[in-house]
Amino acid sequence: MRLHRNLVDAVVDGFMQINNDGLYADKVIERLLKRDKRWGSKDRAFIAETLYELVRYKRLYTEIAQEKAPFTVQSSRRVFAVWAVLRGITLPEWYFEGTPERRIKGRFDELSRVRAFRESVPDWLDALGVAELGEETWGEELHALNQQAAVVLRVNTLKIDRETLRAQLAKEGYETELLEGYPDALQLKKRANVFLSEAFKQGLFELQDTSSQRVAPLLLGAWNPSQGSLKVADCCAGAGGKTLHLAALMGGKGKIVAMDIYPQKLEELSRRAKRNGAYNIEARLIEAKYLKRQRGTFDRVLIDAPCSGLGVLRRNPDTKWKLTPEFLQEIRQTQAQLLAQYSLLVKEGGNLVYATCSILPSENEQQVQHFLASEAGKRFTLVEQHKISATQGYDGFYMAALRVNSEQ
């Protein structure tokens, strides 16, 4: 493999932005890829995939390179050199002379015996994972979460069916495969920027991992459009991935109130809803007065709670470097508060789904157990729960369906 200077410089620059400035990797990469219009798809893939790899294994590579933050251009280049040597890539003369290849390989062999270095996580997080999941399970999850994420699409059935979309994507050069058990999913056979496709611009699909695609069907349960319309609340809607799936499953009927505390996310949701042809969505900033007026009026309530994001480290490897024990404690408290607050919106006979993209029991089944034992949770019964392991090849996820007790 031949390294090109401008591409390596982009990777080094991105590494410093992510680690010195605390910027999110996906945003940094998005900007970097716009730097030079002459770059082709292979050039862009090199930048994105290499930078994600450096972030994913930051602890291992920086320890081998004996470099620490804040990173300079020179120290970042040494970290890149470790990646290149371990990949068997020859560094060109313009990079720098005297790369100690034998020492790099020797240190890699030595450090790889220790899981916190091998899988590249902070010590406190490694200890927490062991405490919550056990040595074996935590190790398996970490290893799976360091693999590259698949590109999974969700067909927008408001506009097109899966087979027709698959044929249209094939004409545009995007080959896909079906996924058993996921009626609205297509997976790319080869990684590509599908956002450039005409099919995406027409709102015929969204990117959504298989684990995330299980949430909306769980919330709706056995309901189908012939049974009448539903009033649904998506209480932590964000930019609307699950909101849009709900709209499609509901056939554009009924009403979905998509709530969030961030107006910019709701603006993005509204843009996506328009592109998708989903007109049964009302985007609303969360207000105490509105929540009070709407108590007991929703047939379905989704709490896609903010969480550690440990289940989606494949996509967001920088998350593990931004997490702190203090943040985890705060987010657990927030999750408990959201369950207590938004459960009040569910009407008699209605359903509630609590979901996270975490693999930690303290954010998942333990939260549900505490809620059911609380005053607010007394009127609910746990119907089913699903713990999705990252070892299954997709995002780690948790979801629990609860129903208001019949006697209420």
The annotation places the binding site for S-adenosyl-L-methionine at 260, 304
d(CA 159, CA 401): 29
Q: Could you give the residue ranges of the DSSP H alpha helices within 57-97?
A: 58-65, 73-86
Q: Report yes or no: 55 and 73 within 8 Å, Cβ to Cβ.
A: no
Question: What's the N-to-C CA distance of the chain in angstroms?
Answer: 67
d(CA 308, CA 331): 7
Largest CA distance in the chain: 77
What residues contact residue 302 under an 8 Å CB cut-off, 6+ apart? 215, 216, 219, 232, 233, 234, 235, 236, 242, 246, 352, 353, 355
Q: Can you say how many angstroms the Cα of residue 161 is from the centroid of all Cα atoms in its chain?
A: 25
Specify the residue for token string 């494949």. 314
DSSP string, 95-136: T-S---HHHHHHHHHHHTTSHHHHTT--HHHHHHHHHHH-HH
d(CA 297, CA 295): 6
Bridge partner list, 301: 233, 352
What residues contact residue 309 under an 8 Å CB cut-off, 6+ apart? 316, 319, 323, 357, 358
Strand extents, DSSP E, 136-223? 152-155, 176-178, 185-188, 205-207
C-alpha distances (whole Å) from 265 to each of 261, 270, 285, 318 are 9, 9, 10, 21
Q: Report yes or no: 196 and 188 within 8 Å, Cβ to Cβ.
A: no
Q: Report yes or no: 283 and 294 within 8 Å, Cβ to Cβ.
A: no
Task: State the catalytic residues.
Answer: 357
Specify the residue for token string 């930690």. 360
Q: Report yes or no: 272 and 239 within 8 Å, Cβ to Cβ.
A: yes
